Structure 1
């Protein structure tokens, strides 16, 4: 009786700066020896056999194993993986495409978009240009197809998908296309997720376990003033008004300025930080004098602090802002003031915090508690 052939899953990956066909299969001695004798290389770190794509084609690989195993090559033949995965986005663009996208960047800059929006829109349009069939004109179906073949396999967020549709609307206007796309028809609906919120004790513990003075100031400021992480790193020394206990947030989201209060209890911490680090331009600076602190660094040390505080919730710097707003609401602050403190344009955005404050939910009698209470009362009567 002929032995059942093993299945080998083949993937196209980058390994040691090389593009390779990676082979994954359950250990079988004869198959392992065949790989070894056929010129495959073994990677101890990735626990796989592999062939550099410069040494063998996919057809040659299939021929090599046709009598030895069943090759599962769907990871290699997926359209998006056929692109030069070893190259960066910029390296995949032709010189003509780069010039074209630079002109698009200038066009967007003229619309006075923020630096973050400029980068996001140009990146999303560049991806579309790279993956688009050159012989096919831009139409609604090609825009949808790009989302299906790129965003869905990558499990990109709904927010990214919506930004892509918005970027394409601006791109079509830039190239004077006759095509008009309906944003609401093409863009997926926004997620209606409720934000994670820290308890009062968790906030205090998070600050307590953070020993680094600069890191502690960052956490305290984001929470006590309801700052976005981008607003924190953009704060300059001149935006700090110690006498009035205020911070001036300039050009926040939507290019709106606002004043936010500084908590009395962190003023000594802030004085200590300013005397110790003596920042020159920005309130929170990186290693290089006069340069902004990195958002990635904030996320990294916040993650470490959460681990030390034994907080298992999924936390980001924005969670501190959510917690600030929720705690204000729970303490009886009018929703209109919270809207102004957070810099929200629409009250609907602020109203989400009414769904996560605990007092209202705690007032509701759980039906299971009610049943048990009724049962206990019945026993007492009997």
Structure 2
């Protein structure tokens, strides 16, 4: 019998602070919630939310034996509180279709060592928790070694089908490990994931490498990676290009994932897998005019959304940088914005536009962010996909270049700064480019030099 716990996350909805409640379906819990005045069902979040009032909190803690207030997304364990339990516990919640999230107190070293025994586990620094594969093996290990200390925010009986499909790493006797088996976490993929995690590569880099390497193994079923020859790797790449018409960027990702396994996991010489790479195309970035930028920002009515787009353009930020901004990264007195762990894990400062400061102050007064400048639904950083959707709606409403993306705002910042007379070195530092050559491409986009150029045809009399 698993101990069921309820997760209550504080979020703002229409300017009012609410408790969003996550719990396994239970008739008794629903009966309590429906008796709370002001309770509402959120279709988007697929959960109930109630007013974040002291009286409501008192009722919840009295009715529910184990209640976790706020996911521990903050920088310290003090950002969350477990009600109704006199001793430390491990809180287990869903973290996706095939993942679990384990929140463990930092003082519980022995528990953490047990978590580290689980294959495929990953530490999520921003969420301050462990991500575990949602398999029967994981559940059995947790129950066997940590059972009395576990609080489950999910009903495992509802996910029996998922646990049953999580087969062992080895294929059944008499069967070849074909596509269905290899899609489960292959031992080689798991080894690659653990190696890249130790090297502290980003979540999305690890996800991309493992995805491409998994497909590579599926193309050679039943064969250990060590037996696949260099010629077979080349033929595999050729088939991807010819049949699937993969882009040059995807081709490089596939090559990098294969090389990463043989060189980093197996420790082979780099020269063995010198695969022909595509010539990098020299494409000019898409840039919006100043008038288009103004039109784009003017159609955004939501204050939070306007602040996000305004910062992307005015400070030349990447998508991943704007969603990771923290409240104390804003330095109003210096008109500076601190970017932590940008591309290449480099910190930098960039400009904070004076015209954006009143907008940000109004946003902070209304939304009152505590840790993340733009918190998401579940208390963590705002989702990248949400920002992309905000931009797409604004782009369509403003009628600007339909091929523009969120990154176009960064390109526009660099181009407009160059046209305003700022030198390349200043722009390079603001953008966080490693090489000045990357910044020089905006010279080819700037209209300043073309405006001074006169076509010879204008001097001819036709």
Deviation, structure 1 residue 113: 1.7
Deviation, structure 1 residue 152: 4.7
Tell me if the contact between 2:317 and 2:410 (Cα under 8 Å) persists in the aligned partners: yes
Tell me if the contact between 1:235 and 1:249 (Cα under 8 Å) persists in the aligned partners: yes
Residue aligning to 1:275: 365
Residue aligning to 2:439: 350
Tell me if the contact between 1:231 and 1:249 (Cα under 8 Å) persists in the aligned partners: yes
Report the TM-score when normalising by structure 1: 0.69
Tell me if the contact between 1:217 and 1:270 (Cα under 8 Å) persists in the aligned partners: yes
Residue aligning to 1:206: 296
Between the aligned partners of 1:326 and 1:224, the Cα distance in structure 2 is 12
Between the aligned partners of 1:309 and 1:299, the Cα distance in structure 2 is 15
Residue aligning to 2:156: none
Residue aligning to 2:411: 322
Residue 260 of structure 1 aligns to a residue in which SS?
strand
Which whole-Å deviations, capped at 9, do the CAs of 1:174-216 have from their partners, x for residues lacking one? 1244673455x52111121000111010000100011111111
After the TM superposition, which residues 62-81 of structure 1 pair with which residues of structure 2 at under 5 Å, given as runs?
A: none
**Which residue of 265, 271, 280 corresponds with 1:180?**
271
Which whole-Å deviations, capped at 9, do the CAs of 1:116-171 have from their partners, x for residues lacking one? 21111111111111112545932233222222333554443311211221222111
Between the aligned partners of 2:257 and 2:198, the Cα distance in structure 1 is 15
Between the aligned partners of 1:286 and 1:296, the Cα distance in structure 2 is 11
Residue aligning to 1:254: 344
Tell me if the contact between 1:132 and 1:142 (Cα under 8 Å) persists in the aligned partners: no
Between the aligned partners of 2:183 and 2:296, the Cα distance in structure 1 is 48
Tell me if the contact between 2:192 and 2:260 (Cα under 8 Å) persists in the aligned partners: no
Residue aligning to 2:383: 294
Residue aligning to 1:245: 335
Residue aligning to 2:393: 304
Residue 259 of structure 1 aligns to a residue in which SS?
strand
1:332–1:182 CA distance, 2 compared to 1 (3 A): farther
Residue 180 of structure 1 aligns to a residue in which SS?
helix
Residue aligning to 1:4: none
Between the aligned partners of 2:288 and 2:409, the Cα distance in structure 1 is 7
Residue aligning to 1:123: 211
After the TM superposition, which residues 44-55 of structure 1 pair with which residues of structure 2 at under 5 Å, given as runs?
A: none
Between the aligned partners of 2:368 and 2:424, the Cα distance in structure 1 is 37
Deviation, structure 1 residue 92: 5.0
Residue aligning to 2:326: 236
Residue aligning to 2:18: none
Residue 93 of structure 1 aligns to a residue in which SS?
helix
Tell me if the contact between 2:213 and 2:257 (Cα under 8 Å) persists in the aligned partners: yes
Residue 279 of structure 2 aligns to a residue in which SS?
coil
Residue aligning to 1:106: 194
Higher-Rg structure is: 1
Residue aligning to 1:139: 229
Residue aligning to 1:222: 312
* Structure 2: gaps of 5 or more residues: 1-177
Report the TM-score when normalising by structure 2: 0.58
Deviation, structure 1 residue 341: 0.6
The number of residues matched between the two structures is 282
Pair 1:171-2:261 in alignment: yes
Residue 264 of structure 1 aligns to a residue in which SS?
coil
**Which residue of 359, 368, 379 corresponds with 2:457?**
368
Tell me if the contact between 1:223 and 1:324 (Cα under 8 Å) persists in the aligned partners: yes
Between the aligned partners of 1:270 and 1:162, the Cα distance in structure 2 is 40
* Structure 1: gaps of 5 or more residues: 1-88, 376-382
Which whole-Å deviations, capped at 9, do the CAs of 1:204-248 have from their partners, x for residues lacking one? 010001111111111100000000000111111121222222111
Deviation, structure 1 residue 308: 0.9
Tell me if the contact between 2:319 and 2:384 (Cα under 8 Å) persists in the aligned partners: yes
Deviation, structure 1 residue 111: 2.2
1:179–1:202 CA distance, 2 compared to 1 (3 A): closer
